[in-house]
A = this chain, B = another copy of it.
Amino acid sequence: MTSKKTEKYQMILEGALKVFAEHGFHKSQVSKIAKAAGVADGTIYLYFKRKEDLLICLFREKLGELVQKFEDSVRDIDDVKEALHKVCEIHYTELENNVDLAHVTQIELRQSSMELRREIGMAFKPYIVLIENLLVKGVQQGVFKPDLDVKLVRLLLFGAMDEVVTSWLISGRKYSLAGQVNGTIDFFLKGIAR
């Protein structure tokens, strides 16, 4: 029962991911998603209240999985620098290996109302918090500057990585995203001043 219900639910989300990634949110008709998911149009409304919910849920689901991966990877790493490196590596490789998801997170998710943007901000929160915790831990360990403005720097870190991914995507993915990890982390840790 539950599994069957979950089954269609997942099929619809997979369909939405494909269609959103290819056409963008506003140009993705519900009927197209239904076809991609192999269900009837109306069926979608048994699992999702509105079209926008598809985006939100897709995002929560996928981001949840990602955050889980981040947490799993970092949990057993005591060295915060190494942990930060791992976070960036996962951030880049996961999206590089899942272009559809990258499209949705970098392009489609932004195509939404202020209201939805707030929703999205909320869902990103755990990831931002994870970064923040790393920063705090680093400060406590004396590895990071003691006067670090963690609230600001967590944004700077996330924004920097985010832009790298978006730029890579828009450029047509002509280079390796994973190849940017070292450069990114080096910048984070040491800045640009000699």
User: B-contacting residues of A (Cβ < 8 Å)?
Assistant: 24, 26-27, 81, 107, 110-114, 117-118, 121, 135, 138, 142-146, 148-149, 152-153, 155-164, 166-167, 170, 180, 183-184, 187-194
Contacts and interface: CB of A to CB of B under 8 A. Distances in A.
Contact of A187 (B27, B113, B156, B167): B156
Copies of this protein in the complex:
4
A170 B117 contact: yes
A167 B187 CA distance: 21
A24 B192 CA distance: 37
A157 B163 CA distance: 9
A152 B170 contact: no
Given A159-B160, A170-B117, A153 B192 contact: yes
Contact of A144 (B159, B167, B183, B193): B193
A45 to B, nearest CB: 13
Given A155-B163, A159-B159, A161-B159, A188 B192 contact: yes
A86 to B, nearest CB: 16
B159 A155 contact: no
A180 B151 CA distance: 11
Nearest to A144: B192
B159 A163 contact: yes
